[in-house]
C-alpha cells in the first residue's frame, strides 16, 4: 500500500515517514511541504537520512494524492479540510490526526467521506483509543452521580486547549451519560463559580515543558474516587497508530471512521 505524508519534513512528519518505511505491507509514496520550504525538491529518503528513495518532496499536495493509496495528515485544520476535498477528488484514502478542527472543517471532512474512506481522530495512540472505550463504559455504569473531571497536560508550544484528546474523552463520558458534551462541559473555572451541578464534565488544562501528552479522567463519587489515564512518552505512538489506520483503510468503503473502528472496540 502506497502511503503519503503531509508535512513530511516536520517532527511528526518525519516520524510518520519513518514508520511507513518500517511497517510491513506499505511503502512511502512521497511527502509534501509548504512551497518555499528547503525540503521541496529533495529526495525524501535523503531528507530522512536513509539514502535516496527516488521520491521527491513536493510543494503541491495534488501531486501526492495522485500517486498515493492513502495519505496521513497531521497539519492544521484549514489544510486538512482542503486535503479531504483533494483526496475525495482522486479516490485516495485519508487519515487525519489534526487537532483543533472546528465545525466548518468537520463538515468538509464529512462531505469528503461520502466518496472515500477517512479515519479521523484527535489522538492516534492505540492506548488512548482503548481508554476512550473504557471511559464510556465506566460513565455508563457509574451514572452522573459520579462527577467527571478531565485533566490534560501538554508541552508549552501546543496552541489549542483543551486538547483534542481531552475533548474526545469528554465526549466518551457524555455518551456514557447519554448527554450532549456541549451542554454539560465546563472548560474553565475562575472566581465564585457556585456549587458543581450534577452531570457536569469539567476540563483542566496544563501547559509546560516538553510533555508529549498526559490525560487523566477522574470519576469522583461520595466516599470513593476512580482515576484512569494515559501518558505518552514519545510521539512515535501516534505515528504507529496512524500507519495502522492507513493500512486498515485498504479496500474500505467510503465513510468517516474513528480509531475505535480500526481497533474494533
Handedness of CA 237, 228, 209, 200 (dihedral sign): positive
Contact 228, 131 (CB under 8 A): yes
CATH class for the domain made up of 126-232: alpha beta
Any idea which residues carry the catalytic annotation? Answer: 154, 158
pLDDT digits (tens, 9 = 90+) for 29-78: 999 999 999 999 999 999 999 999 999 999 999 999 999 999 999 999 99
Q: In which residue are the cell numbers 518555499 written? A: 36
Q: Is 84 left (phi over 0), alpha (psi -120 to 50) or beta?
A: alpha
* Residue 123, pLDDT score: 87
Q: How far apart, in whole angstroms, are the C-alpha atoms of residue 183 and residue 174?
A: 10
The helix (run of H) or strand (run of E) holding residue 149 is strand 147-154
Q: How far apart, in whole angstroms, are the C-alpha atoms of residue 264 and residue 4?
A: 25
Domain range annotation of the chain: 2-120+235-263, 126-232
* Residue 238, pLDDT score: 93
CA 146 to chain centre: 28
Contact 72, 31 (CB under 8 A): no
Q: How far apart, in whole angstroms, are the C-alpha atoms of residue 38 and residue 211?
A: 28
**Which regions of the chain are under pLDDT 70?**
none
* Residue 143, pLDDT score: 97
* Residue 99, pLDDT score: 84
| CATH code for residues 2-120+235-263 | 3.40.50.720
Q: How far apart, in whole angstroms, are the C-alpha atoms of residue 118 and residue 112?
A: 8
DSSP readout, 120-162?
E-S---HHHHHHHHHHHHHHHHH-TTSEEEEEEEE-TT--SSS
Domain 2-120+235-263 and domain 126-232, same fold? Reply is: no
Q: In which residue are the cell numbers 473531571 written? A: 149
Of 55, 59, 104, 112, residue with least CA distance to 87? 112
Amino acid at each position: 500500500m502506497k502511503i503519503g505524508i503531509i508535512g513530511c519534513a516536520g517532527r511528526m512528519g518525519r516520524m510518520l515517514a519513518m514508520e511507513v518505511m518500517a511497517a510491513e505491507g506499505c511503502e512511502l509514496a512521497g511527502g509534501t511541504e509548504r512551497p518555499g520550504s528547503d525540503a521541496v525538491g529533495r529526495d525524501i529518503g535523503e531528507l530522512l537520512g536513509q539514502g535516496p528513495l527516488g521520491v521527491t518532496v513536493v510543494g503541491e499536495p495534488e501531486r501526492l494524492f495522485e500517486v498515493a493509496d492513502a495519505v496521513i495528515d497531521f497539519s492544521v485544520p484549514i489544510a486538512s479540510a482542503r486535503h479531504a476535498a483533494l483526496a475525495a477528488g482522486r479516490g485516495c484514502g485519508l487519515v487525519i490526526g489534526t487537532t483543533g478542527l472546528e465545525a466548518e472543517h468537520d463538515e468538509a471532512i464529512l462531505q469528503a467521506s461520502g466518496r472515500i474512506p477517512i479515519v479521523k481522530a484527535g489522538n492516534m495512540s492505540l492506548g488512548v483509543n482503548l481508554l476512550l472505550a473504557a471511559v464510556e463504559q465506566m460513565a455508563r455504569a457509574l451514572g452522573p452521580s459520579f462527577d467527571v473531571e478531565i485533566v490534560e497536560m501538554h508541552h508549552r508550544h501546543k496552541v489549542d486547549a483543551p486538547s483534542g484528546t481531552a475533548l474526545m474523552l469528554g465526549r466518551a463520558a457524555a455518551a456514557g451519560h447519554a448527554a450532549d458534551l456541549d451542554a454539560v462541559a465546563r472548560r474553565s473555572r475562575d472566581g465564585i463559580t457556585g456549587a458543581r451541578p450534577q452531570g457536569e464534565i469539567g476540563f483542566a488544562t496544563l501547559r509546560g515543558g516538553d510533555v508529549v501528552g498526559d490525560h487523566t479522567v477522574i470519576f469522583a463519587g461520595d466516599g470513593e474516587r476512580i482515576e484512569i489515564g494515559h501518558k505518552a512518552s514519545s510521539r512515535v505512538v501516534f505515528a504507529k497508530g496512524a500507519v495502522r489506520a492507513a493500512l486498515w483503510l485498504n479496500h474500505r468503503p467510503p465513510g468517516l471512521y474513528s480509531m475505535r473502528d480500526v481497533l474494533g472496540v
